[in-house]
Each structure stands twice: as structure tokens, then as C-alpha cells.
């Protein structure tokens, strides 16, 4: 879903055509999956991905289908990429947006609300999407990212400081306000 800077839908385009040197602004999401102990599930992007192949990142990112609510897109992608069946999806950062450029000139340009999911099962990664996974205590991960001691995707690097400000316990973070979502995401 293509969007204007205020987050209003202005059109649609196939995913394969929107990631390049002139990537239009589009709607996406990021999700952070935790277990009951507050460990974060990290994923390493498949080596054949167009954007940031082989890079460690948050649990899962993706794009909604036209007309699909973002929470439903999070559920769909976590099931497809990591084999996780979910009970609930919590909005954390309704207004996150970023732009990042790879060394080869490919651009990510997204309005990208951030979600939390808590699971009690281990993932079953889809090798088409995910090269590897690992669980890491939130504080350890956040400290590594904040101290720039971990190579992580550019969007996760920008998201972590916002999440850290929500408090030390990821299971107790306050929920974001659905009314603050970009209009195209409501």
C-alpha cells in the first residue's frame, strides 16, 4: 500500500516493484516476539532477500495486503515466516517511520508501526524468509544495540531506543494508541 507522508493511502503496487533505488513511501510493520521470560526472538534474514540479506533483525517485518488490518498482517507473516500461531498482537509504536539505503542503493522507505507478540512455542523458520533464529534476553539485546556492539538491521537499530524508553520489562510495556496509527493502517 503506497502512502503519502501523512500516512494516507494513495495507491497500491506489487512488493517486487517497490524496493529499489526510488522506493516509494509505503506501509509496513515490524514485530518483536517475546517468550514468557522476556526473551526476544531474533531472526537472520534469508541470504537471497532483496533488502538486507543475511542481516540479524527483530522477529519479523512485512507488508499488509490491500485492505488487511496491520494486526492481521503481523499474524499472517509470523505464521508464514516463523511458523508461529498467535493469540494476540499488541501495538507499541503506532507512528514509527524510517528510510534506509543499502550500499547497493536499494532503499527502504516505510511507515512502519511496531508490534509485540508473546508466544509459548518455539519457531519453525521458513528458509525462504529466515536463515536463522535465536532467543536473547531483551536487556542484553537492547544494550548491545544501544552501545552499537551488534550489527542489526537499520530499522531495528532505530526502533530499539524507542522501545527502551517504554521500560525495562518488554512484557509490561504500555500499549500504543490505535487512534494514532497512520490513516492507511486503521
Q: Which residue has the cell 511507515?
A: 111
Residues 6+ apart with CB under 8 A from 85: 79, 121
Do residues 40 and 55 make contact, with C-beta atoms less than 8 angstroms apart?
Answer: no
Cβ atoms within 10 Å, residue 46: 17
3-state helix, strand, coil in the chain (%, to 5): 25, 30, 45
Task: Please tell me which residue in 60, 81, 108, 110 is annotated as part of the active site.
Answer: 110
Return phi, psi of residue 139, to 5°: -60, -45
Q: Quick check: is 61 catalytic?
A: yes
- Select which of 61, 81, 112, 158 is catalytic: 61
Q: Is residue 60 annotated as a catalytic residue, yes or no?
A: no
What number of helices (H) and strands (E) belong to the chain?
Answer: 4, 12
Helical segments of the chain, H only: 15-18, 70-82, 138-146, 154-164
End-to-end CA gap in the chain: 13
Q: Which residues are catalytic?
A: 61, 110
Amino acid at each position: 500500500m503506497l502512502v503519502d507522508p501523512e500516512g494516507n493511502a494513495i495507491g497500491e503496487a506489487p512488493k517486487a516493484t517497490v524496493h529499489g533505488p526510488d522506493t516509494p513511501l509505503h506501509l509496513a510493520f515490524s514485530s518483536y516476539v517475546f517468550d514468557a521470560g522476556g526473551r526476544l526472538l531474533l531472526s537472520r534474514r534469508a541470504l537471497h532477500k532483496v533488502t538486507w540479506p543475511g542481516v540479524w533483525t527483530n522477529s519479523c517485518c512485512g507488508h499488509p495486503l490491500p485492505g488487511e488490518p496491520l494486526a492481521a498482517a503481523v499474524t499472517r507473516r509470523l505464521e508464514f515466516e516463523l511458523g508461529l500461531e498467535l493469540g494476540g498482537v499488541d501495538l507499541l509504536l503506532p507512528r514509527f517511520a524510517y528510510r534506509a539505503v543499502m550500499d547497493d542503493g536499494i532503499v527502504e522507505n516505510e511507515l512502519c508501526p511496531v508490534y509485540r507478540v508473546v508466544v509459548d512455542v518455539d519457531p519453525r523458520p521458513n528458509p525462504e524468509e529466515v536463515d536463522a533464529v535465536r532467543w536473547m534476553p531483551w536487556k542484553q539485546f537492547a544494550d548491545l544495540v544501544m552501545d552499537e556492539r551488534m550489527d542489526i538491521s537499520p530499522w531495528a537499530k532505530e526502533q530499539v531506543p524507542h522501545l527502551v524508553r517504554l521500560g525495562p520489562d518488554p512484557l509490561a510495556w504500555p500499549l500504543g494508541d490505535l487512534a494514532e496509527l497512520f490513516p492507511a493502517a486503521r
